[in-house]
Chains A and B, each alone.
Chain A
Amino acid sequence: MTPAPTPEAAASGAPTPPPSKKPAPTIDSKGLQRYKMLATWIIFIGVLVVCFVGVDADFMALFSDGARQNMGRILGEMMRPDWSYASHIWKPMVETVQIAIAGTIIGAVLAVPVALLCAVNIMPKKIVSIPARMVLNLVRTVPDLLFAAIFVAVFGIGAFAGMLALVFFSFGLVAKLTYEAIEAIDPGPLEAMTASGANKIQLIVFGVIPQALPYFFSYVLYTFEVNVRAAAVLGFVGAGGIGLHLDQQLNSLRYDRASTIIVITLVIVLLIDYASTYLRRKLL
């Protein structure tokens, strides 16, 4: 009939309630369940064995003399970090956090319109939501380091490539989490806004955003936490940040300096995690 949004369509986007009642287990279904259990374990162990063979897993290597000696030597050097080196890494450390912040913010901003297009309670037309989801899933299949490697190849070595990589990564993560949150919002206010003569954008501004915003911010903070960690290793593919220096020190066997970098990175990541988790708890 008419393309006007109807609550029938909106209701279909609501999360389905968990199944309420299971049928009472009978003798038969109990036996069946035992078989299912057994089959699950057999499959699980089978997969594990195939994987071990695939990676040439040799647990004895963990305890071989060579490994023990290497481990002892490296750990020994790492136990004595070269603190004088710390003054050299503040700049790249700050750059790392900057990459994470810029990547998160730009990615999150780009994620908003796409999340709205993906949510079926906002976009009942499948012709829009299905392609939007396809693009999103495509972006999400690419790991952040691969993005970084590609952008380093295109734009050259440096923080810009790293930031772009995190823009794409954050975009995928935030858009996916946000559209799922949007689909779970209470459809009531949307219906009320439609009934009062609101158009689509007004419906979003007054019905969707007030409900979804706390979730969105929480996801952005979470993405930022993940991005700080990712930014710390982006340097291994030349995409700026502290990882470049860690790579250099490891390659020149300066484990004392590497451990300075690791310790400082750890402290920064923990601080950011702590602050972010605190904020997220406040939000929701």
Chain B
Amino acid sequence: MIEFKNVVKQYPNGTIGLNNINLNIKEGEFVVIVGLSGAGKSTLLRSINRLHDISSGEILVDGKSITRANGKQLRRIRRDIGMIFQSFNLVKRATVLRNVLSGRVGYHSTFSTMFGYFPKEDHDIALDALTRVNIREKAYIRADQLSGGQQQRVSIARALAQKPKVILADEPVASLDPLTTRQVMDDLQRINRELKITTIVNLHFIDLAREYATRIIGLRAGEVVFDGPVSEATDAKFSEIYGRPINEDELLAADAPKGGVTV
């Protein structure tokens, strides 16, 4: 579904973000990418839908080269890739439904979206997506009146409204408490299983990665240093990825009492 061929990303200031990445992610996989801060997780994810351009190599999404695509082709490929961000990236003043509907723009001409009009089918798709993440009843509320967990579910619904083949999530739970973290991860897992949407998630909690992933990819300094099923991702392997023993705060479970008790 997603193929990285000798991908190198060098930032304009010379930093190497990705160093010769070769990967093949198959349809329906739930891939979790782990690595220290600065390892290149976000860079990897953002190069898939070309929010970042890569310096050399090629990335194929569903057989099509996003690296070579331009203009309309690029937007067409992006339409098939839903993205979820750590900071939700919703339009806070707009209603939940409006935010979810905005995921549909890739299906319409510029002219018909210019006045913000969407056909009834789109409303049905949007409401359906909200139902899937259990916040259908919030459809007509302004996005900024929801809790963080609810906002993240709205952004999942927006991604779903795209009817994507792939979902990318960059630290989707990093600004949530442990309880909502599980709800959001459960939503992502359910969507991955029921709709067969290939899912790639950046996480920094090791236990979460093991719990939800079907495959774990470890990055260090822009290189893949681990790639395998959860069963092979032992504590020793994680220490290798991180280049040091695992810390307490890299476990959600260890985090839970802290986040739960203190108010």
Contact = CB atoms under 8 A, between A and B. Distances in A.
B160 to A, nearest CB: 11
A186 to B, nearest CB: 7
A191 B51 contact: yes
Interface residues of A, number: 26
Contacts of B106: 196-198
A226 to B, nearest CB: 26
A191 B53 contact: no
Interface of A (DSSP majority class): helix
Contacts of A210: 91, 93-94, 98
Nearest to B93: A210
Given A6-B53, A191-B51, A192-B158, A201 B114 contact: yes
A214 interface: yes
B187 to A, nearest CB: 18
Interface string A156-198: 0000000000000000000000000000001011011111111
Interface string A203-222: 00111001100100000000
Contacts of A1: 53, 55
B75 interface: yes
B53 A4 contact: yes
A29 interface: no
Contacts of A206: 91, 102, 105, 113, 116
A195 B78 contact: yes
A7 interface: yes
A68 B155 CA distance: 72
B154 to A, nearest CB: 11
Interface stretch (B21-29, B82-90, B201-209): B82-90
Nearest to A208: B91
7 tightest Cβ-Cβ pairs between the two chains A and B: A197-B106, A188-B89, A197-B79, A197-B78, A192-B89, A195-B83, A197-B75
Given A194-B78, A210-B94, 15 more contacts: A6-B53, A188-B85, A189-B89, A189-B91, A192-B83, A192-B89, A193-B102, A193-B105, A195-B51, A196-B105, A196-B162, A199-B110, A202-B105, A206-B113, A214-B93
